[in-house]
Amino acid sequence: MDTENLRSFLEVAAHGSFTVAASRLNLAQSTVSARIRGLEEQLGRKLFVRDSDGVTLTPAGRQFLPHASTITRTWEQSRQDIAVPDGYETLLRLTAPAYLWDSITSPWIDWMRAKRPNVALRLEGSFPDLAVDQIAEGLLDICILYLPKPHPGIVYETLAVDQVVLVQHTAQSGPWTQNYILMDWGLEFRIEHDRAFAGMVKPAISAGLVFIGLQHVLSQKAAAYL
């Protein structure tokens, strides 16, 4: 049984939407649909039903859900276990935003190599919503995020307090709202942003990665919260 099919099944089940699942998996919706059809053919049962509220699990889908989760976790853990390089005792998996590399991640790596030379490290880029789920599923060990969404069973500690500020290119003409890129700093930021700028027309461009926002500000003479 293909674990990628199982992962697609779990995403659709969690969010009740093929579209959302495809976005989170960075796949075309048709690919997710094909994976679900393949899984249903293997099992000989329908797993989802579409209704006015979206996509819901059938009784067979609800029964299969815990098994799919267990199989996926077991496979990923097995894959990680055998990925420990020879000569090291264990593997520590960390994800952090690229813009924190110089200030936090790189010094931490130096510290780990000095203090825990028997621990191999795997470093990943950070996509906030996915990272929290990967922590919960045991696919990551440590995750550095701005304003992570709460999740039962995950321990959160404040590493640092930072601020985002509105920056505007010096050559931008007209109000900053006319050429503005909306950065995704998490749910709390979105709530406060909507409250502060209730009358703002929704920006045509949004981004979840800081370097994209910065490059847009510089190249397009725009504004953003960075």
Q: What are 203-212's pLDDT values in tens digits?
A: 999 987 788 8
CA dihedral sign, ordered 12, 15, 19, 23: negative
Domain at 3-69, CATH class: mainly alpha
202-217 CB burial, b ≥16 within 10 A, e <16 = ebeeebebbeebbebb
pLDDT band, very low/low/confident/very high, at 127 (cuts 50, 70, 90): low
What's the mean per-residue pLDDT of the chain? 87
Domain map (residue ranges) of the chain? 3-69, 83-161, 166-225
Residue 123 backbone phi and psi in degrees, to 5: -110, 135
Domain spanning 83-161: CATH 3.40.190.10: yes
Global pTM? 0.55
